Structure 1
Amino acid sequence: MSSVLPVDYLCGTIAALVAGGQQRVGEDYDFVSLRAPTFEEFFKVMNRVSGGKGLISFREWHSRALEYAATHPNNPLARITTITDGHNDETAAYLVKGGQIDNKHVLGLDFESAILVDEGYIRKYLDRIHAASYSG
């Protein structure tokens, strides 16, 4: 999941770049995380943190997500379904893997500066999902 990064991390990094001076104007940057869990590790931890209800296939999740999106069109989950369309159980992990980077400006290659997506982060992520589901 090296191409999945928290928005607060991205915003903070971009703000630091902008504050760093005019020499960076017009440059392109890519973000990666060398500390990212695999797709399977991420969802195993998410399952454990959310009470261990079990993992389901991507196909089943996608079907449920589409049903939910139809009845809750303003919920953030309704927007993610367009990104996942066309994928199946075999290709779903590629959604978060990231592609080849041919850019000289790659942020996150320094292992220590890369955000750690651990159990604590996943708990916060799930809390945001629950908060959004009650508001929309």
Structure 2
Amino acid sequence: MLLPGYTILEHPSDLGIEARGRTLPELFRQAAIALVSIIVELETVREMEQREVVIAATDREHLFVRWLTEILYLYDGTGFVCKDFRIGSLSGTNLKATVLGEALRPSVHRRLLDVKAVTYHQLAVRRQSEGWVARVFLDI
């Protein structure tokens, strides 16, 4: 049985995420948690506010990258640090989610790594017999 979660993958100039989930929404949630845990210490983030995220893409892989890029934008572009993710609806090309977190507090949310972008390098989102697995690399 496939256990939900993620593994951080090291690459010479990048860092990768391999996320796992029994369902596609669980896969997207685990990947987002992995991304945030690379950027900040997740334990320091509180669920004080929520934001709605709606994304459309041409296919599942593009949707996966756009989802993670939106999480990165919330942090870098708006100063919102995510803690958890509630996927409301998810198809192969559309996602609607509620993101829980709080405003960035630099004295509390120490930046671990500077993630510049989510890349398409070795991108894969696959259904397996026991669930879903995705692999994505980040430009750091």
TM range (shorter): under 0.3
TM-score (norm 1): 0.27
Question: Which structure has more helix as a fraction of its residues?
Answer: 1
Bigger radius of gyration, 1 or 2?
1
Structure with greater contact order relative to length (CA < 8 Å, sep ≥ 6)? 1
TM-score (norm 2): 0.26
